[in-house]
Amino acid sequence: MIQHTVAGRLKAWARALKRDVHALYLASRDPRVPWYAKALALIVAGYALSPIDLIPDFIPVLGYLDDVILVPAGVWLAIRLIPADVMAEHRALAEATPSRPVSKTAAIAVIAIWIAAAAMVGWLLRHLFQTCVRCQGL
């Protein structure tokens, strides 16, 4: 009985989180929202709606860190920065909309971050290898 209640609560929390991400996406385009709240809402919603994660889920522990901690924390903070009446309006709109948007721009940004990180690691390894070769006099 307790497991059923916990599972139900987790499902309800996940549905509310999805609704809030969509509401943040809508609020990021609302002129009544301050610019700093728009920026954070756009970043959080874009990342949450991106089909690609910054930290892939197949990486043990860290893969789910963004889904379990970072996204909910970002949603919580963005909601705190948006006026309550505006957020309530966008939550109602998000609840009424059957489909959720997908952020292709955020997916491109994540891919760009991965490419930049791979290039930096390659540069560092090359630099390290060259330094080791000089140290050994090869």
pLDDT in tens, 85-133: 999 999 999 988 877 777 777 778 888 888 998 899 999 988 888 887 7
Does residue 33 or residue 4 have the better pLDDT?
A: 33
Tell me the average pLDDT of the chain.
85
Lowest-confidence segment of 23-27, 54-58, 78-82, 111-115 by average pLDDT: 54-58
pLDDT of res. 74: 92
pLDDT of res. 119: 92
Smallest CA-to-CA distance from 74 within 119, 20, 16, 19 is with 20
Q: Is residue 128 part of a domain?
A: no
Q: Is the pLDDT of residue 138 over 70?
A: no
Q: Is residue 137 part of a domain?
A: no
Q: Is the pLDDT of residue 1 over 70?
A: no
pLDDT of res. 2: 55
pLDDT of res. 39: 93
Q: Is residue 127 part of a domain?
A: no
List CB contacts of 101: < 8 A, sequence separation 6 or more. 22, 25, 49
Q: Is residue 62 part of a domain?
A: yes
Q: Domain residues for 94? A: 2-103
Quote the CA–CA distance of 25 and 23 in Å, as a whole number. 5
Q: Is the pLDDT of residue 13 over 60?
A: yes
Share of the chain above pLDDT 90, in %: 35
Q: What is the pTM of this model?
A: 0.69
What is the DSSP code (8-state) at residue 28? T
Quote the CA–CA distance of 105 and 36 in Å, as a whole number. 19
What is the DSSP code (8-state) at residue 69? I
Q: Is residue 112 part of a domain?
A: no
Q: Is the pLDDT of residue 22 over 80?
A: yes
Q: Is residue 138 part of a domain?
A: no
Q: Is residue 111 part of a domain?
A: no
What are the tokens at 38? 């728009």
Q: Is residue 121 part of a domain?
A: no
Number of domains in the chain: 1
